[in-house]
């Protein structure tokens, strides 16, 4: 779903020096360079990309398909597809992800859990008996 060439476009920006308080909903792509106090959530209608830059700080839950963190997040992160933690990422909270890319220097203070992968049911194993 997320090749390097077909990521959703970054259509919104919370600039350095800006501060948002309250729940934030976005579509497609959002880059945060400032501060957000409240949950940041992508709408489920289309693939989403959230970038938390080195200067950014988020205090609240984060939900998106592809999440890239190089700043600070105090709260749980749910990445439906890919979670990228760059070297200056600082996360205080649990993370849930389908795929994880973590660079040296990134820190997580919380539990890490992969999304449950649906396993195709296999027929039960039948053992051969030693009866003649």
Question: What are the tens digits of pLDDT across the range 72-105?
Answer: 999 999 999 999 999 999 999 999 999 999 999 9
Q: Residue 23 domain-assigned?
A: yes
Q: Residue 34 domain-assigned?
A: yes
**Region 105-119 average pLDDT:** 84
Q: Which residue segment(s) compose the domain that 61 sits in?
A: 10-114
Q: Residue 89 domain-assigned?
A: yes
Answer with the residue of higher pLDDT: 45 or 21. Answer: 21
Q: Residue 3 domain-assigned?
A: no
pLDDT at 118: 43
Per the structure, the count of domains in the chain is 1
pLDDT confidence tier of residue 122, bands split at 50, 70 and 90? low
Q: Residue 129 domain-assigned?
A: no
pLDDT at 106: 97
Mean pLDDT of the residues in the chain: 88
Please state whether beta strands 29-32 and 10-14 pair in parallel, antiparallel, or not at all (unpaired): parallel
Q: Residue 64 domain-assigned?
A: yes
Q: Is residue 57 within 8 Å of 37, Cβ to Cβ?
A: no
Question: What are the tens digits of pLDDT across the range 24-40?
Answer: 999 999 999 999 999 99
**Region 4-8 average pLDDT:** 69
């Amino acid at each position: 779903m997320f090749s390097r060439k077909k990521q959703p476009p970054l259509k919104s920006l919370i600039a350095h020096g800006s501060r948002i308080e309250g729940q934030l909903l976005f579509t497609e792509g959002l880059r945060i360079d400032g501060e957000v106090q409240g949950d940041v959530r992508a709408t489920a209608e289309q693939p989403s990309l959230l970038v938390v830059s080195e200067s950014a700080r988020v205090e609240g839950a984060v939900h998106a398909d592809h999440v890239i963190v190089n700043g600070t997040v105090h709260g749980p992160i749910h990445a439906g597809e890919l979670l990228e933690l760059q070297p200056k990422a600082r996360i205080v909270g649990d993370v849930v992800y389908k795929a994880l890319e973590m660079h040296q220097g990134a820190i997580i203070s919380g539990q890490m859990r992969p999304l449950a992968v649906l396993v195709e049911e296999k027929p039960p194993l039948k053992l051969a008996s030693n009866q003649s």
